[in-house]
A and B are shown apart, each in its own frame.
Chain A
Amino acid sequence: MTATTQTPTATRSKADVGVEQKVQQLRDLYADAPELGKVALENGLPALKQELTAATAAQNAGRIGARQGRVSELTGIFPFAKGGAKRLRGLLQLLEGNFQGADKVGTVHDMRFVFLDNDTKLLFATAYDGEWDAYIDDFATKIPNAMDLLFCNAAGWPGIRSPKVKDWIVEHQISAEAWYVANPNLTVTETRRLERVGKAVEELLDKIG
């Protein structure tokens, strides 16, 4: 399950393959698709050709996960420990969605906790800035207690301070096959700075207006 990321070099050499060739590959690929999908492929070809031309090498986030520009994805599915689902749900409800800890980490764009398969598994999915190792380190140094509080509810969680924690996460992480970010070059910090700039500009315009 680890490292399903394609290497950039492999993808880059494929870029030499003509777009027409790729289109043919797509047609072959969809030959046995439902009628609906085949029609959609033909209808969508003009737009698809553009994207095939622009296709760039997929990037990876370091040890595991996909990255676009400066923003990476982490997707993990963790089996719950006994009583873990109930505890985590209770904790999330009491916090009422207030994750100040994540603000403190400062590199988290978004994150979600989703309960799967009758509360037997937890899906955790996040978008964050930069590299995998640095991201995990940020959590470990900035909000270690909150991490233990949330993830002790997963079976086998070794504790954020354990030297085994990174291996444990990798074991449960699944790299996204495709990853899209609308503003790939904006980190959380940069976006916050732009918010302040925008506000300052508005005030300035108000004053001179």
Chain B
Amino acid sequence: MVTTATPTKVKGSGKSASAQQKIQELRDLYADAPELSRKALENVLQELTDQVAQTPPPPVESAGRAGSRLGKVSELTLIVPLAPGGAKRLRTFLRLLGGNLNGADKVGTVHDMRFVFLDNDTKLLFATAYDGDWDAYIDDFATRIPDYLDVLNAGWEGWPGIRSPQAKDYLAKHQVTAEGWYVANDLTVTETRQLKRVGKAVNEFLDKISE
């Protein structure tokens, strides 16, 4: 729950030099960019100097087998080919649910997730933010809502089924790791829910003592 600023990372000397170096790299990188963005770079350079010189939040790390993680929260971005008829089935299913994917509540580690149809319904983009590591996350789905998952994934070309030993390989094969990943609050879903309860209790408490 503590938002740590990782003070160990701060090293006084050598830091500003490397910041200068990074700024130079940025200038080089944007040398052939459109006029618009070269100007934007100069405008934002002071801000960036501060930013690259400052202690980065926690660094973005790997979420395990695939994907990025920032602090406690990871990203999973999948693009899977859809089998013939798969898009229609999935879309109708999602519409019948009216966008209600509360099965994910049962998994308990999902912050958000979206289903997006791409390229004339030939591909599906699935993108989610979740807590912790890749393997544990997939295991959570497999143990808690396996059937739900197989209904959703029935239209995926070549999906072996969540109970198959090949399920993880299939997912890893179609996953594309994000190269930029930002999360505003370094809290797990569970911690956030707990804070909601604390907030409510505090409100009730304050109401009571002001009565």
**Bound together:** yes
Residues of A within 8 A of B202 (CB): 197, 201
From B22, B36, B154, B193, contact of A183 by CB (8 A): B193
Q: CA of A103 to CA of B70 in the docked complex: distance in angstroms?
A: 14
Asked if A145 and B43 sit within 8 Å, CB to CB, the answer is yes
From A83, A89, A153, contact of B179 by CB (8 A): A89
**A136 contacts partner chain B, Cβ-Cβ < 8 Å:** no
Asked if A75 and B150 sit within 8 Å, CB to CB, the answer is no
Given A98-B51, A201-B202: A178 and B101 interface contact (C-beta under 8 Å): yes
Q: CA of A180 to CA of B102 in the docked complex: distance in angstroms?
A: 7
Asked if A152 and B34 sit within 8 Å, CB to CB, the answer is yes
Within 8 A of A (CB), among B114-131: 114-118, 125, 127, 129
Q: Give the secondary structure class of B's interface.
A: mixed
Least CB distance from B147 to A in Å reads: 3
Least CB distance from B168 to A in Å reads: 16
**B64 contacts partner chain A, Cβ-Cβ < 8 Å:** no
Q: B60, B180, B183 — which one has the most chain A CB atoms within 10 A of its CB? A: B180
Asked if B179 and A115 sit within 8 Å, CB to CB, the answer is yes
**B209 contacts partner chain A, Cβ-Cβ < 8 Å:** no
Within 8 A of B (CB), among A73-115: 73, 75, 77, 81, 83, 86-87, 89-103, 108-115
Residues of B within 8 A of A33 (CB): 85, 89, 154-155
Within 8 A of A (CB), among B41-84: 41, 43-44, 47-48, 51-52, 54, 56-57, 59-60, 68, 70, 73, 75, 77, 79, 83
For B91, the closest partner residue in chain A by CB is A177
Least CB distance from B157 to A in Å reads: 10
**A3 contacts partner chain B, Cβ-Cβ < 8 Å:** no
Q: CA of A149 to CA of B56 in the docked complex: distance in angstroms?
A: 19
Asked if B127 and A56 sit within 8 Å, CB to CB, the answer is no
A residues neighboring B (CB under 8 Å): 6, 11, 14-15, 22, 25-26, 29-30, 32-34, 36-41, 43-44, 47-48, 51-52, 54-59, 66, 68, 71, 73, 75, 77, 81, 83, 86-87, 89-103, 108-116, 123, 125, 127, 144-149, 152-153, 157, 159, 174-183, 186, 188, 191-195, 197-199, 201-202
B residues neighboring A (CB under 8 Å): 1, 3, 22, 25-26, 29-30, 32-34, 36-37, 39-41, 43-44, 47-48, 51-52, 54, 56-57, 59-60, 68, 70, 73, 75, 77, 79, 83, 85, 88-105, 110-118, 125, 127, 129, 145-151, 153-155, 159, 161, 176-185, 187, 189, 192-196, 198-199, 202
